[in-house]
Structure 1
Amino acid sequence: MNKTLKCPCYGTTLSKLVHPVVLTILAIKDVHGYQIAELAAKTPLLAGSRPDTAGIYHLLRTMEKSGYVKVMRQISEKGPARKVYHLTASGRVCLQTWLETLSRYHKALGSFLKTAGRVHVKGEAKDKRKRAQP
């Protein structure tokens, strides 16, 4: 399989919706990993569910290896230097691909929901007719 196609932005692993959330946060501003987890929990996509901080750091390492983020050290007056993550040009391309993929899924899901809704309503009507018969 093509290495590029393994990227979840192509829709092969949509269970990892944290990926586009992190990319979006980093497209807005450079932040450290703990802040990303806090901000991610506030996004509508995650509906207030805070992602696991260890999982965020694992994703950031993966994104760094893929060239989507760059790590910079920020000196802190209150403690050790922090890693601050910056979205690269490749990361912006990945985010754009995510947007296109999610848009396609949104359209397909709308169509699916219409069809499933019609099937469900028809099934309900059949069930009601069966129950109404003596």
Structure 2
Amino acid sequence: MALITINTGYLKTKSGIMKIIEIICVVCAFGLLRMSTHVCGHTRDSHYLGIGVLVAALMVTPLLLISYMMGKMQIQNTYLEIALNAMFCIFLVAVGADALKAVGTVYTNNYNRKCFAMGIFSIIASITYLLDTVFCVMVYRGNN
């Protein structure tokens, strides 16, 4: 049985750094969403969208990071990571914009701060997913 080797050098690459930033921003946004009221947005539907997108990002991004650190670089030869990053970019912009739109119109001051911070973290995560998408496209074109 072979030993599992961990490629910590991946964490120093552009994509590895982006994945760490994405995970941190999504964890912060999810924590703020859970600490806010039952709705951090205008409707319950937008709240459920936020929870769904943030939980999906919390599952997929660390799994990709772990896969790359274990040496499974074949994923970079497919459209999978490009599609996931682009999808998370679009959905996180929607979640962040909806949370920022609700600030000042729906809640008291305490919840406004949490929704504002959650919206900002979602937008920052969206920007990092966009940059990661660009890096993934460059790697994909270089490999194929």
Q: Which TM bucket (shorter chain)?
A: 0.3 to 0.5
Report the TM-score when normalising by structure 1. 0.36
Higher helix share: 2
Higher strand share: 1
Report the TM-score when normalising by structure 2. 0.34
Which of the pair has more CA radius of gyration?
A: 1
Q: Which has the higher contact order (CA 8 A, sep 6+)?
A: 2
